[in-house]
Amino acid sequence: MQTVRVDTGVGGYAIIIGRDIFRLLPEALPVRPRRVLLVSDSNVYPHWGEGLVRALAAAGPDVKPYVVNPGEQSKTLAVAEALYTAALQAGLDRGDLVAALGGGVVGDLAGFVAATYMRGVAFLQAPTTLLAQVDSAVGGKVAVNHPLGKNLIGAFHQPVLVLSDLGALATLPPREYRAGAAEVVKYGAALSEPFLAYLEQNWEGFMAADDTVLAEVVATCCRLKAGIVARDEREAGERALLNFGHTLGHALEAATGYAYYLHGEAVAVGMALATLIAREAGVLPGDEADRLLAVLGRLGLLPPPPGLDSGTVLATLRYDKKRKGGRGVFILPVRAGEARIFDSLEETAARVLAQYLGGRLGKGW
């Protein structure tokens, strides 16, 4: 078991990482709610719901579970409204708690409800995907989607406690696990050479979800993200480094209607393309590029979907850029474990992207 303390100006909270940790709840929970709205989805709740309900109830409160459909389609204001109704009917007031048991979708949705219900109530996160444990449950961003774009309606709302149960990952589909692993590699590749080396040395244990390795991996990612968020709460500078692989990754996801890649799979390709762009632009030495590409290759990079042309992807990129006020930036590695922000390198990017989409990068890139 590992515990990471996150400081947030307003007190801070603990992230507890390990197996069988719901039983720590009565002592670990820093608030004493009388009622809890427990939000989960129908993939997660049958496996892990009862355990969390029991653990919460042992801490005292009445627990009202609310199970949503799995997937991005539940991250809407309409589902949030149904949750407000459930909370009101269960009698939740300002002193009560909203808990999230699930992946990033459930965490973002329940967090948004916690941030807005009666101007904000306490929020507990029990993330059950690797992505949620290393990324979305840390940092305090919560949101729902709008028909015109993802995560456009949101807030910052820190949890009072995060319980990352490594055992819950046992029922996660392997493809989802690998997609989450891409975000893990991102931390090593963009922020920390020692962590990258740890991943290289412990890759098999990581892929086999070995307890010790996984606890170290999740704790390190949480520390790295929490550190950056604390130093850069307004997303002016350093926090952008967390978007390594995301510029092209998002463009690929959007250009394929969010139907071909899982988010992490698109990010893995985006990181590999950023590495090639950096090498071509002369900001990343060849041997460092080889090292990064070898780790990314272990994730198993998805081939391009048939028929996707680079014009469509670049158009998405430009649209994104326009929305953000015209500043096209790329996060590029300058060596293994360190990335920097560069102004748009659109020509190089277009060339590398066309190579990928044309299937000309070959195996092992």
Ligand X SMILES: NC(=O)c1ccc[n+]([C@@H]2O[C@H](COP(=O)([O-])OP(=O)(O)OC[C@H]3O[C@@H](n4cnc5c(N)ncnc54)[C@H](O)[C@@H]3O)[C@@H](O)[C@H]2O)c1
Determine whether 234 is an active site residue.
no
Residue number, 178 or 298, with CB nearest to ligand X: 178
Instruction: Report the site for ligand X in 253-272 (rule: CB under 6 A).
Output: none
Determine whether 243 is an active site residue.
yes
Determine whether 183 is an active site residue.
yes
Residue of 39, 44, 241, 299 interacting with ligand X (CB under 6 A): 44
- CA atoms of 132 and 172, how far apart (whole Å): 12
Considering 239, 318, 340, 351, which one is annotated as catalytic?
Answer: 239
Q: Is 359 in the site for ligand X (CB under 6 A)?
A: no
Residue number, 180 or 304, with CB nearest to ligand X: 180
Smallest gap, in angstroms, from Cβ of residue 65 to ligand X? 15
Residue number, 200 or 211, with CB nearest to ligand X: 211
Residue of 41, 96, 253, 288 interacting with ligand X (CB under 6 A): 41
Residue number, 177 or 356, with CB nearest to ligand X: 177
Q: Do residues 301 and 365 lie in contact, with contact meaning Cβ atoms separated by under 8 Å?
A: yes
Name the residue type at position 195: F
Determine whether 246 is an active site residue.
yes
At residue 36, φ and ψ (nearest 5 deg) are -130, 130
Determine whether 239 is an active site residue.
yes
Residue of 73, 85, 89, 171 interacting with ligand X (CB under 6 A): 171
Give per-residue burial for 122-141: e unless 16+ CB within 10 Å, then b: bbbbbbbbbbbbbbbbbbbb
Residue number, 181 or 314, with CB nearest to ligand X: 181
Smallest gap, in angstroms, from Cβ of residue 102 to ligand X? 5
Smallest gap, in angstroms, from Cβ of residue 41 to ligand X? 5
Determine whether 231 is an active site residue.
no
- What is the 3 state secondary structure string of the chain? CEEEEECCCCCCEEEEEECCCHHHHHHHCCCCCCEEEEEEECCCHHHHHHHHHHHHHHCCCEEEEEEECCCHHHCCHHHHHHHHHHHHHCCCCCCCEEEEEECHHHHHHHHHHHHHHHHCCEEEEEECCHHHHHHHCCCCEEEEEECCEEEEEEEECCCCEEEEEHHHHHHCCHHHHHHHHHHHHHHHHHHCHHHHHHHHHCHHHHHCCCHHHHHHHHHHHHHHHHHHHHHCCCCCCHHHHHHCCHHHHHHHHHHCCCCCCCHHHHHHHHHHHHHHHHHHCCCCCHHHHHHHHHHHHHCCCCCCCCCCCHHHHHHHHHHHHHHCCCCCEEEEEEECCEEEEEECCHHHHHHHHHHHHCCCCCCCC
Residue of 16, 56, 106, 254 interacting with ligand X (CB under 6 A): 106
Determine whether 263 is an active site residue.
yes
Stretch of 36-44, 185-193, 244-252, 310-318 lying at the interface with ligand X (CB under 6 A): 36-44
Stretch of 59-67, 101-109, 250-258, 288-296 lying at the interface with ligand X (CB under 6 A): 101-109
Smallest gap, in angstroms, from Cβ of residue 82 to ligand X? 17
Residue of 104, 188, 245, 304 interacting with ligand X (CB under 6 A): 104
Instruction: Report the site for ligand X in 108-167 (rule: CB under 6 A).
Output: 108, 128-129, 131-132, 135-136, 139, 141, 150-151
Considering 64, 75, 157, 243, which one is annotated as catalytic?
Answer: 243
Q: Which residues bind ligand X (CB under 6 A)?
A: 41, 43-44, 47, 70-72, 75, 102-106, 108, 128-129, 131-132, 135-136, 139, 141, 150-151, 168-169, 171-172, 176
What amino acid positions are annotated as catalytic residues?
119, 141, 183, 225, 235, 239, 243, 246, 250, 263
